[in-house]
Amino acid sequence: MFFRLYLCLLLLFASCDSKNEARERIESPRIPEPSELKNKRVLQKQTLAQPPPSKTPLPTPRPSYADVIPRIDFPTDILYGELCYEAHNKVFRGSKNAYDIYPLGGEKLAQRWQKVAQQVRCLFVLRDSLYSQQDHPYRTLPFAIMLPPSWITLAASIVEENKALVPVNAPALNDDAQWAQTNTQEALFGSFPPSDTLFDFAIKPLTSADIATHDAIRNARLSLLQLAKLSKALIQKTPREVIEKGAALLAKSDRDYFGETLRREKVVPIFVENPTSKEVIEGKGMVPRGIHPSAELVTKVRNRVYQTRLLDGDIAIERYDISKPKERRRAIEMLKVLIPKNTEGHRVWLWINGPLNSDAKLQGQDPTPWIETIRGEINAEKINMQRLRFVSKPTLILPKKDPFITFKNELDRFNALHLPMSVNLTTRSLGPLINQLEKINQLEKPK
């Protein structure tokens, strides 16, 4: 019995040794004879026997210009995928025809926005009032009209006063007789802010319209039909229900226009939360011109609209003169609600500036002298700084002579402050500056 066990162990050890020798023969490259080194095939075999290189790609260094925010122009010859861009609604619509209409509209215009958004890191889009959105109410064929935020405030204030909310009254598209009977702005717009031009086009006959006015009449009526549906949905029992419904409808219009994925990953809608008196006349902000709801109600509408939109993706909010303590406090109180500490979610891009010139729109001093002040004040509050990005305004305008020197100096200054820099340049103009910058960076690399 003992002898058999001893024999089995000897056979087992012999088998292991032979396997180890075979493994060594397979895994260890053969060392060639000196005479064989002249043979290229042997050298190739030796190379192939070495361990394969790692398949993990090396991390791509973040370019120094990654926080430059240029604007988009058409045609877009090239777009930098690592940059965020600022887009302008008029530019995307293209040229108007002889009848003051943008031929590109509806779904095709929306597809243009979507195509560009797919190619960049993020795309800032102005979408905050009836005339400040991608669909023009009568100059483009509408695709997904946005419910203006100020309309939500107005509806909530009417319900708060226990008054009847009257929606937009838009008859069937081709019913000229019914449109003609809607012969006052109040009869057409109900409780909501009227638009003179939209009203004038909508009540004109469509079926007999000439080529000069047909498209404007059609577009106006189609926009009003969408607004009628949205305004009817605001008829609720309580102000809170109005606000909830309005915020949901507004956010949905973003997803309808850009698509849910692009809205979440690329598209950043811009709101004017702190409008000038001129911008209030244009319909921007949370309160329509001529009404005076309580400050508490306006804050409730603002917070809910922004919170709801923030669930779908990043948002941008403008604009705050951070040289003024009052405006810094206004922004901070809002951020405490939108991005409180210890929360996760999408980011808020806060557009900030220094004192602006009274005689020129968005021209004046940049916010850099006060950036550490507002950061210190925010750090003292319960705000998640990881969900906040600043954007510096006014937009940097480069001189015609030696623009690269100014560009490089300003870029270094803004990068040192960890502050994105908005520039009044298209990619076509920015490209040569980036090329020069990369050449300098290559020369400065340690050898």
Q: What is the pLDDT of residue 447?
A: 61
Q: Any idea what the Cα angle at residue 334 is, between residues 227 and 278, rounded to 5°?
A: 55
d(CA 93, CA 80): 21
φ, ψ dihedrals at 321, nearest 5°: -85, 100
pLDDT in tens, 22-65: 333 333 333 344 344 344 333 333 333 333 443 444 444 678 89
Listed in sequence order, the DSSP H helices in 33-171 are 40-48, 89-93, 106-118, 149-160
Q: What tens-digit pLDDT sequence spans the chain (447 residues)?
A: 444 444 444 444 444 444 444 333 333 333 344 344 344 333 333 333 333 443 444 444 678 899 999 999 887 768 999 999 999 999 999 999 999 999 999 999 999 999 999 999 999 999 999 999 999 999 999 999 999 999 999 999 999 999 999 999 999 999 999 999 998 999 999 999 999 999 999 999 999 999 999 999 999 999 999 999 999 999 999 999 999 999 999 999 999 999 999 999 999 999 999 998 889 999 999 999 989 999 999 999 999 999 999 999 999 999 999 999 999 999 999 999 999 999 999 999 999 999 988 766 678 899 999 999 999 999 999 999 999 999 999 889 899 888 999 999 999 999 999 999 999 998 888 999 999 998 887 777 666
pLDDT in tens, 341-384: 999 999 999 999 999 887 666 788 999 999 999 999 999 999 99
- Residue 24 token pair: 């060594």
What the chain holds in terms of domains, given with CATH numbers, is 69-137+241-444 (3.20.20)
Say what the pTM is: 0.84
- Residue 27 token pair: 């895994």
Q: What is the pLDDT of residue 75?
A: 76
Q: Which residues pair with 355 in a beta bridge?
A: none
d(CA 145, CA 249): 10
d(CA 47, CA 63): 36
φ, ψ dihedrals at 424, nearest 5°: -85, 60
d(CA 88, CA 212): 26
φ, ψ dihedrals at 402, nearest 5°: 50, 55
**Portion of the chain with pLDDT greater than 90, in percent:** 76
> How far lies 288's CA from each of 64, 187, 242, in Å?
43, 19, 16
Q: What is the pLDDT of residue 334?
A: 98
Of 189, 193, 122, 121, the residue nearest 157 (C-alpha):
193
DSSP sequence for 349-400: EEEEESPBPTTSTT-B--SGGGHHHHHHHHHTSSB-GGGEEEEEEEEE---S
What order of strands is seen across the sheet that includes strand 267-272? 68-69, 421-423, 388-396, 348-353, 315-321, 267-272, 122-126, 84-86
What spatial distance separates the first Cα and last Cα of the chain, rounded to whole Å? 73
